Each structure stands twice: as C-alpha cells, then as structure tokens.
Chain A
Amino acid sequence: MRKQLCDALVNRAQRPDMVFLTGDLGFMALEPLQQALGKRFINAGVAEQNMVSVSAAMARQGLEAWVYSIAPFCYARPFEQIRNDITFHGLPVRLIGNGGGYGYGVMGPTHHAIEDYGVLLTLPNLKAYVPVFDEDVGDVIQSAGESPMAVYLRLGRGEPPRGFAVPAYAPWRQLTNGGGVPVIAVGPLAGTYIDAIQELPKASRPNLWALAELPLSQNPPPLALMAQVAAHGAVCVAEEHVERGSFAAEFALYLLREGTNARLHHLYARAHHYPRYGSQTYLRKASGLDPGSLLNAIDSMQRL
C-alpha cells in the first residue's frame, strides 16, 4: 500500500499547512512525496520520540502533521509521546505505521505490530484505520486528513484474490454472501479469505465482513451484520492482533451491552515469537489465521 499512500499524500501536498515527518524510512517509496513537499518533508532521523513530540507541536500550531515509520517504531517506542503530547491535547496528528501485524514477517519480532491498535485505542481522542485493499488507501488518507482527532493508520498489503472486484471503500463492507455464520476480518486479512469462502456451498457460505475503522464507538456495526449475528447466535472474528485489546474483545463487550446472545469464535495473532521465523503468510498460519484454519473454525461453529 506504500505506493498508494505516496500517491494519496502527493495529492494533498498542495496544502500549504501539510507537513510529513519520517523516522528515516521511505527509501524507494516516498521520494515523490519528498519532492512535492520540499522543506515540509522532514526526515526526523532515527529519533521517534522526538519526531512524535515535534509533530504534536506542529499540529498545535495549526499544521496538518503526518508521521511515518515502520509500525512498531511508530507507536511502541514513542507511546508516551503519543499519549501525553498528542492525545492529551486532542491534536489531530496522523500516525502511519507501515507493515502492521506480521507485515514484516521474517524480519523478526521487533518488527511485528500485533498489539498496535489495541494499545493505541486505550488512549482518548484517537481513531485507527486498517485499510483492507490497496484501493482503500486514497479514501483512508482523505478521511484521516479531515479527522479532527489523532489517527493511527495501520498500513499493510492488500490481498484480494485475482479478478476480485474491490467494493468502494467503507468502514464496514460485506464481501461474501450466503447462509452461513457471519465472519468479521480486520484489515487485509479479509482479502485472504474470499476465495476459500466463495468455494463453500451458498447455503453454508459465511457472510464475510471486512472492517477498516476502529473503535466501535466511532464505527458501530451495520444492522445487517447484527441481524446475521442474532440469527445464527454466533460470529467469528479474525484479526492479526493479539487477543488482549483486540477488536474481538471490544465486539464481545458490544454484544453484551446490546443484549445479543451469540457465541464468539476468535482467531488472533498468537505470539510474537515462534520456534522459526517466516513470512507473513507463514506466521499467519502459525497463528491459525490462514484460510484453512478459518474454514475449520467455521465448520466447528456450524456443527454446534
């Protein structure tokens, strides 16, 4: 999604108040943005804490500040700066974390971001975007750019099956239809399930929903989804995020508050460390987030 990100930001670069700060990342990706912004493109160096506080101060002076780094360096290292300097002041800084989830796969656990939106959404005045497809990025950047509050954008890699007609961006999108249980997948993971689900008979085919914006308080589930959950008395949630602080945990609370009686099956990122390293696909499988694991989970849910 980095190319789409760069294109979308270049489109905004005419705004005189826009500034972009990077933690020394973006080689072979962000050069067009650097050219478009000139001195408003600031390589803040390998100093993420300073970069985030600087961005807060710039937002406080009315500038439209964007901050970019590899996902864990964007939120974990400077967490206190995000908390104190950005969110405590309600400042609309846009934080972009590239390679969320297991996006940096074989690079190792220091580069994984599987607790990012859970950690950040404990803070006030912050919203998270997890674009599902590459095509979403332009709309997400526009929405994030207009946000009156801080934004965290978990950037990944769109993975729709070949030939899939990506629907127009929306915070919630239903990607498959059938008579099976509803499945909610957060971000690009949704695209990886489409083929496997489409191969199931229509009568038992799950209704796959892609979720791209958090938290639920700012993006409540659509009525159609809630009707499916109520009808089946069950829902499956898949996300490349640890269980604690997950979307599923928030959704479970939502179901309880709404008085919806449903079983919730959760597929989630199991660990930062595995006995062996591997790609994002490898690590998803190790966590039981691959399409085969989803089908097994659905099968067991529909047998109950």
Chain B
Amino acid sequence: MLDANRLTDIRKRLIRMHYESGVGHIGGNLSAIDALAVMFNEHMTANDRFVLSKGHSAGALYVALWSAGRLTDADLTTFHKDATLLAGHPPASGIDGILFATGSLGHGLSLAAGTALALSLKGEEGHVYCLTSDGEWQEGSTWEALIFACHHGLSNLTILIDHNRLQGFGSTADVASMAPLWERLAGFDVDMQIIDGHDPAAIRTALHASVAKPRLIVLETVKGKGISFMENRMEWHYLPLNDETYRQAIDDLAQR
C-alpha cells in the first residue's frame, strides 16, 4: 500500500521528469497523480484496462506506470525527447498499459465504454477505468459516451473525473459552467461518488465499492497539488520548470 512518503517520491519523480524535459502540463498531472498511483500500484489487475481520456496528463500516467514497475527510470528520461515512446500525449502503441493514443479530448470515455462492452460480449474478466478531465465534459462526445455506457449498464466501467476546476484558458466556472458538475451527472444511471482525489484511503474505498452499473468517481482535486506556487494556478497548465522553480518545487514536496 502506498504511504505518504511514497506518494511524495512519485510526485518528485514526476516533477523531475518535467524539469529535465523542459515541458509543461504539470498542473493537471499533479491533480491526477494520486488516483493514478493508487490504481496502478494497488488496484488494477492484469485483466483490467485503463484509458487516459485527458491525454495531456500523459506525464502522470508514465510516472504511475514507472511507480508500478511497468516503465523504467531510463524510459522516463526520454520523455518528450526525439525518438521517444513517451510523447506529450499517450502513444498508439509500444507501452504496455496504454491502449490508445489520446490527447484530443472527448474520445477516451467512448474508447473505454467500447472496451468494456467488448469484454462483456466476449465474456471476459476485467474492469475498464477511464480518467477524464472536468473541462472535457464540455465535449458533446463525452456525453454521448456516458449515455451509451449507462444504456448498456456497463458495470465493468469506472469513470474518474479529475475535477480540478481549471482548464486551458480560465476556470471551468468562467468558461462554460456546469457547476456543480455532479448535479448534471446525477441524472444518469451511474453509481456516483464524490471524494477527495488526493486522499489515498478515499480513492481505495471508492474503487473497491461493488456496483451493478457504471461507476463514476468525481475526484475533488487541486491543479498543481503539492507545490504551493502551482496550486490552483491556471498558468501551470502550460509552464515548464526552470532551475529556480524546480528547486522550489522539490523543497515544497520535501516539506509535505
């Protein structure tokens, strides 16, 4: 079971990877990393599948896979470099644990629902997990997928929403508010839970609950979580780390 120190180490590795590669998308990785780390280290089995619908959090996915021993430290050093498999968004092939190239929002939940229905039709074991962003629910296709998943009663599907309330050019409330998002979702035939997306115990409990319909977990998260000058700051959707901000970030994490 992951303890606080291990989760901090995972965050540090994520930050170092971004620093060494000089690329952004850090904020949304830090909001998603706790759920991904718990899922890949503690929860998912060999039969399970995962779809990262918010493909811009590929960094968090790579580091979660690394933390579970499915990518190496050397792999992470290639992040964003020429000839890497670890592109800025998940690749179409080549990494065990990544089924689909994502990055254009609004695709992942359909891919996850199709995978879940395929497993069901084939009579195969396995559960499908899909992590979406909150801004992504502005995509009509995501709602198409939710309608489909509910209509087919896909009890082997878990939808997680990284609800950090910030998107590309503003807050979700300012850009296209659906607040509170869970009220929009509550009309669907899903088993919905709203939890602290940075609390490993809450994540474990939510993932373990047995349900007979699609499960939807709203992860209440903080963009840039764990690094004081990044938390709830939209610009950290984009900014890379320089020497100074990297040092500050590591110091922040050391004090957790």
Contact = CB atoms under 8 A, between A and B. Distances in A.
A264 interface: no
Nearest to B145: A50
Contact of B93 (A39, A63, A89): A89
Contacts of A62: 118, 122
A60 interface: yes
A228 interface: no
A57 B92 contact: no
A88 B98 CA distance: 14
Contacts of B93: 89
A80 interface: yes
B91 to A, nearest CB: 10
A48 to B, nearest CB: 8
Nearest to B110: A53
A172 B101 CA distance: 36
Interface string A73-85: 0000000110011
Interface in A126-153: none
B41 interface: no
B121 A57 contact: no
A49 B114 contact: no
Nearest to A46: B144
Contacts of A60: 99-100, 111, 114-115, 118
A125 to B, nearest CB: 11
Interface in B69-114: 92-93, 99-102, 104, 106-107, 110-114
B117 interface: yes
B119 interface: yes
Given A39-B121, A63-B122, A45 B111 contact: no
A57 B101 contact: no
Contact of B107 (A40, A58, A81): A81
B148 interface: yes
A40 B152 CA distance: 12
Contacts of A54: 110-111, 113-114, 117, 145, 148
Interface of A: 17, 19, 39-40, 42, 44-45, 47, 49-50, 52-58, 60-63, 80-81, 84-85, 88-90
Given A57-B112, A80-B107, 16 more contacts: A45-B147, A47-B141, A49-B144, A50-B148, A57-B99, A57-B114, A57-B117, A58-B115, A58-B118, A60-B115, A60-B118, A61-B115, A63-B122, A80-B104, A81-B107, A85-B110
Interface of B: 92-93, 99-102, 104, 106-107, 110-115, 117-119, 121-122, 140-141, 144-145, 147-148, 151
The 8 tightest CB contacts between A and B, nearest first, are: A57-B114, A53-B110, A54-B114, A50-B144, A61-B118, A47-B144, A49-B141, A57-B115
28 contacts: A19-B121, A40-B121, A42-B117, A44-B148, A45-B144, A49-B110, A50-B110, A53-B111, A53-B114, A54-B113, A54-B117, A56-B114, A57-B100, A57-B114, A57-B115, A58-B114, A58-B121, A60-B114, A61-B114, A62-B122, A63-B122, A84-B101, A85-B100, A88-B92, A88-B101, A89-B93, A89-B101, A90-B92
